[in-house]
């Protein structure tokens, strides 16, 4: 694990603790919004429920806007933590600019290096950390957040796994919501801007697939 990766993970936990102590009531409101009023432990269990909480914390830290100025908890943490050094602040600003997107595994090398296709932003990424890539195979489809740190692509702990057969439905839903965004929010908004502001769309899709699987719909 690279130095910046290790530092970012430590900072992430520091921010989560900061929010729990300083903004306890706000967490409940954010949690209700993120789950669209649903209760995840009613339809998730075991590893999936644990993943759901990781996903919520990731969104809470990196994407959730807490005021009309568009501040995140990263911004508040930086302002309220006086002993942060310049490197930590710069790393947090870089991480804050990351976005959730939809990725497809296009190849897996013998050394477990994985090439990903960012379907929505039309770019490629390569994962080389074996503890993250060892279970991936060609064709896998998932939403996640990638950071460019330590001069490599690093995946966050947040992931929304989809069945490859759900690809068209996922893309159709995101496209529908993006069109609403440019119609009602920002006429010249890019897909990158949409994903930064509404990255929780992947959680809604994931949740709905679980609550009401497409094959069971009338």
Radius of gyration of the chain (CA): 17
Q: What is the pLDDT of residues 120-142, one digit of tens each?
A: 999 999 998 776 677 889 999 99
Q: Report pLDDT digits (tens) over 32-91.
A: 999 998 999 988 889 999 999 999 999 999 999 998 888 999 999 999 998 999 999 999
- The 10s digit of each residue's pLDDT in 4-14 is 999 999 999 99
3-class state of residue 213 by DSSP: coil
Query: Which pLDDT does position 215 carry in this prediction?
Result: 55
- Using 50, 70 and 90 to split pLDDT, how confident is the model at 214? low
**All structural domains of the chain with their residue ranges:** 3-96, 100-164, 165-216
Segment 18-42 shows an average pLDDT of: 92
Integer angstrom CA distances of residue 50 from 5, 46, 210 = 22, 7, 15
Architecture of domain 100-164: Beta Barrel (2.40)
pLDDT of residue 218: 43
Q: What pTM was estimated for this model as a whole? A: 0.91
């Amino acid at each position: 694990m690279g130095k910046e990766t290790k530092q970012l993970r430590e900072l992430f936990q520091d921010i989560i603790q900061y929010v729990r102590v300083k903004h306890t009531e706000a967490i409940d409101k954010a949690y209700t919004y993120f789950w669209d009023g649903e209760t995840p432990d009613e339809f998730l269990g075991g590893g999936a429920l644990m993943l759901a909480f990781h996903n919520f914390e990731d969104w809470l830290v990196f994407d959730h806007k807490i005021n009309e100025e568009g501040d995140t908890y990263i911004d508040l943490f930086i302002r309220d933590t006086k002993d942060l050094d310049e490197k930590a602040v710069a790393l947090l600003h870089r991480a804050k600019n990351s976005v959730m997107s939809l990725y497809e595994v296009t190849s897996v090398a013998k050394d477990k290096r994985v090439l990903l296709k960012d379907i929505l932003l039309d770019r490629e990424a390569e994962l080389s950390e074996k503890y993250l890539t060892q279970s991936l195979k060609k064709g896998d489809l998932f939403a996640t957040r990638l950071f460019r740190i330590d001069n490599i692509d690093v995946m966050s702990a947040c992931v929304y796994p989809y069945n490859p057969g759900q690809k068209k439905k996922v893309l159709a839903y995101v496209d529908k919501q993006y069109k609403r965004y440019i119609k009602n929010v920002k006429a010249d908004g890019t897909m990158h801007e949409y994903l930064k502001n509404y990255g929780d769309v992947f959680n809604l899709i994931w949740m709905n697939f679980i609550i009401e699987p497409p094959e069971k719909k009338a």
